[in-house]
Structure 1
Amino acid sequence: MKYVKVLGPGCKRCQAIEAMVSAEATRLGVAVSVEKVTDYAAIAGYGIMSTPGIVIDGKVVHAGGVPKTEDVAKWLSA
């Protein structure tokens, strides 16, 4: 199981990333637990200055903007 956190205020980009992660996980057959983190202090704790951000299994893999679908697939497959 991959533990994914989507860091951001809950904007449309954050929602798009959450949907993208869920869709790619389903496509790849990877079990995921997706958590939204909207608390700015918690987000800053990851060292992210630009949202949305993605943390997978405790590691920051993306910050700022919406990533490419193939990048999300690569991160979930690792």
Structure 2
Amino acid sequence: PPQRPIDHLCRPGITVQTIPIKILGYKSSQRYPIWRTLQAAQRALEKEHPGLHLDIQEVKSTDEILRYTPVIAFPSLMVDGKLVCVGRFPNRDEILDWLNKAINEKIPGLE
């Protein structure tokens, strides 16, 4: 059977945790740098959170982008349903902070 994107995470003792991500940008040149930075942030979190899966969706349609933000000339980013960055390219440390907040909100008892 074909492998699903998270099959490599399904091992004994590993809890898979999916965080939905939306990269909002109608040009691929806007989305790609953010996608690469997201991948770098995920790699940085792998040891502490080996079951972390980022479900990255690229939002390309201006109509759909306008549902979340009026800014379409530059990229924006949503993490776990929250608009966290508008009209600029976030750095890895910012993305790490947003991902850690999303992880902590999903795990009961962590703050």
Match of 1:12 in 2: 29
Query: In the aligned structure 2, how far is the partner of 1:19 from the partner of 1:53?
Result: 14
Match of 1:42 in 2: 64
Contact (CA 8 Å) 1:6, 1:53: kept in 2 or not?
yes
The structure having more radius of gyration, on CA atoms, is 2
RMSD: 1.3
Deviation of 1:11 after TM superposition, in Å, equals 3.4
Match of 2:55 in 1: 33
* TM-score normalised to structure 1 length: 0.88
Contact (CA 8 Å) 2:31, 2:75: kept in 1 or not?
yes
Superposed CA deviations along residues 18-47 of structure 1, whole A, max 9, x for unmatched, are 111122112212321111000111100002
More strand by share: 1
Give structure 1 stretches of 5+ with no counterpart. none
Give structure 2 stretches of 5+ with no counterpart. 1-17, 47-51, 102-111
Deviation of 1:12 after TM superposition, in Å, equals 2.1
Aligned residues: 78
Query: In the aligned structure 2, how far is the partner of 1:68 from the partner of 1:36?
Result: 18
- The higher relative CO (CA closer than 8 Å, separation ≥ 6) is in 1
